[in-house]
Each structure stands twice: as structure tokens, then as C-alpha cells.
């Protein structure tokens, strides 16, 4: 979410003198505090909400004409930020909870009289800068940690369901930041493998006579059977082994309480590369 997403158009009252400026979306702010908002990129949301809350308190301490929130809204936004950061494992406990308490704080700190605006900005910088630094560093790591791209000239695989699952995997990996998030990345890896399994496995071709078709979630068996048929013989054991290892890694990450960015990133890379390998086999 971006800063503009925290606001909504005001309710139409029919009074031409009422303000038409966007107002804080109270429902969304409450959902962010509770952790129930639909949020595809919580890291971006945390950073943008930090910037908004900082700007509001800085405006209150200097030029109130730039304020976009009132006392109650500012209190709710600060609470939502504290809860959102807490879920990321970041402690944020400013010595105020609303505009009035902020004013009492800056007066107690002697930020009044000549030069007081800069003194209040310095207070804001001291409180918010460490949080922004942590979030900006996490964002930089996220950009540097993008998942692999296949060497294939195809922009995508051309297999709609598989491409959709890979796109969702990339999006989830970008936004992941907690062990629960990374377990879900593992779950998305399994989803890619199952989509591949459904696409490449043809029971009439790959299922031995007299045997039942293995279910879609038996990805190592189904993909292995496809590779066996496409590239038979002992010389291709390593390729079949890659399918088994990718499947095992994905299921491990899906259930691991210690899943992190490195291990799930490796797993996702392996799954995406396997998808590109299978696409290349079909081309060949």
C-alpha cells in the first residue's frame, strides 16, 4: 500500500461548503492494527504508514496547516503502526500516543520558543529514523533477493496455470518477512509443482498398465514419469532426481517452523528452474 491508499473520498453530504479532501480510511486503519487487512506487500505498507505517521506529527509540531488527520485519527494511525511493526518483530514505543501527548513531550524537552520548530523535528527524527532505517534496509534486501529467471527466451512458460502459480509465488516471496510468511512461500512452491504435475502428466502415456493414476500432489512421481518418458534411460537419473529434490524441499519449507528468506528462496529458485526445464523438454 502507498500513502494515498490510507485515505478515501469523504462521504457526500450535499453541503457545498464541506471539505472534498480525502479523509483517513478508519476501517482500513483498524484492519491494519488488527492484522486483518488484505495486504499483498506488508513491508511496503509498514514503510508507507511510518512515513505518513511521521509526517503528521512533524506537521503538528511545525505547520498545522499541512495536517491530514485530526487527534483521533492520528492516535489510531500511530496505534496501527505500532501493532504492524510489532508483528514484524520491531519494537516501536514513542513517548506519546496522540498530538496532545506529543505537545506535552516536546515542551518537557524544552522544544519551545526561538528555534523550536527545528528542535521538534529533531525529536521526530530521533524517534522515527531507526524504524525507517530498519524498514528501508529490509526493502533493499527484498529487491536484491528477487527469485531466479529462467534462461529460456520465453517471457513466461505459456502454460497459463503454471505461470499464474509462479507469479503468485514471486509476489508472496517479495512480501514475506516472518516464519509464517516463509512457510506460505513453501506452500506456493508446492502449488507450482502441482500445477506442473497436472500439466505434463498424461495418464494414458505415463501411467504403467494396471496401475492407478497417482494423485496430482504426488509431484515427484508424476513429473518423474514425464521425464522418464521424455528422456528415458540411466543417463537422465540426475534430472529425475532434481524433480524429487525440488518436491522434497517444497514440502519441507511448507511445514518448517524455521523457514526463512534464504531457505525458501533457494527452494523457490529450484522450483522455478524445474518449471523452465520441463518447458524446454516440451520444446525439444
- Residue 153 falls inside a structural domain: no
Check whether residue 11 and residue 123 sit in a common domain: yes
**pTM metric for this prediction:** 0.56
24 beta partners? 7
Q: Tell me which of 112, 144, 176 is where a domain ends.
A: 144
Using CB atoms within 10 Å of the CB of residue 193, give its burial: 0 to 12 exposed, 13 to 18 middle, 19+ buried.
Answer: buried
Neighbours of 202 (CB within 10 A): 13
Instruction: Give me the pLDDT at residue 32, please.
Output: 94
* Average pLDDT value for the chain: 87
Q: Which residues contact 234 (CB under 8 A, 6 or more apart)?
A: none
By residue range, what is the domain housing residue 247? Answer: 160-283
Instruction: Please write the tens of the pLDDT for every residue from 32-56.
Output: 999 898 887 888 899 999 999 999 9
- Residue 150 falls inside a structural domain: no
Check whether residue 58 and residue 30 sit in a common domain: yes
Q: What's the mean pLDDT in 204-210?
A: 91
Q: Would you say residue 103 has pLDDT above 90?
A: yes
Check whether residue 203 and residue 130 sit in a common domain: no
Q: What's the mean pLDDT in 88-97?
A: 92
Q: How confident is the model at residue 141 (pLDDT cuts 50, 70, 90)?
A: low
Instruction: Give me the pLDDT at residue 235, please.
Output: 72
Distance, CA of 219 to CA of 225 (rounded, Å): 10
Instruction: Give me the pLDDT at residue 152, please.
Output: 53
Amino acid at each position: 500500500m502507498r500513502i494515498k491508499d490510507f485515505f478515501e473520498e469523504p462521504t457526500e453530504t450535499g453541503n457545498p461548503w464541506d471539505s472534498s479532501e480525502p479523509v483517513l480510511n478508519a476501517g482500513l486503519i483498524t484492519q491494519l492494527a488488527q492484522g486483518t487487512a488484505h495486504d499483498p506487500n506488508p513491508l511496503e505498507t509498514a514503510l508507507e504508514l511510518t512515513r505518513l505517521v511521521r509526517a503528521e506529527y512533524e506537521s503538528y509540531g511545525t505547520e498545522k496547516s499541512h495536517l491530514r488527520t485530526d487527534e483521533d485519527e492520528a492516535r489510531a494511525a500511530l496505534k496501527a503502526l505500532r501493532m504492524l511493526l510489532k508483528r514484524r518483530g520491531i519494537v516501536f514505543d514513542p513517548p506519546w500516543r496522540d498530538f496532545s501527548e506529543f505537545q506535552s513531550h516536546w515542551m518537557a524537552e524544552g522544544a519551545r520558543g526561538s528555534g523550536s520548530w527545528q528542535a521538534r523535528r529533531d525529536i521526530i527524527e530521533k524517534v522515527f529514523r531507526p524504524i525507517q532505517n530498519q524498514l528501508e534496509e529490509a526493502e533493499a534486501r527484498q529487491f536484491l533477493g528477487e527469485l531466479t529467471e529462467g534462461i529460456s527466451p520465453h517471457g513466461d512458460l505459456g502454460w497459463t496455470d503454471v505461470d499464474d502459480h509462479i507469479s503468485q509465488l514471486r509476489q508472496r516471496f517479495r512480501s514475506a518477512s516472518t516464519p509464517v510468511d516463509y512457510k506460505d512461500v513453501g506452500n506456493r512452491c508446492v502449488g507450482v509443482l502441482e500445477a506442473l504435475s497436472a500439466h505434463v502428466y498424461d495418464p494414458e502415456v505415463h501411467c504403467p498398465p494396471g496401475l492407478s493414476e497417482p494423485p496430482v500432489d504426488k509431484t515427484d512421481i508424476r513429473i518423474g514419469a514425464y521425464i522418464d518418458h521424455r528422456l528415458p534411460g540411466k543417463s537422465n537419473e540426475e534430472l529425475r532426481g532434481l524433480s524429487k529434490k525440488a518436491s522434497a524441499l517444497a514440502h519441507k519449507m511448507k511445514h518448517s517452523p524455521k523457514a526463512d528468506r534464504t531457505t525458501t528462496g533457494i527452494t523457490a529458485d529450484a522450483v522455478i528452474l524445474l518449471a523452465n526445464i520441463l518447458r524446454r523438454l516440451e520444446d525439444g
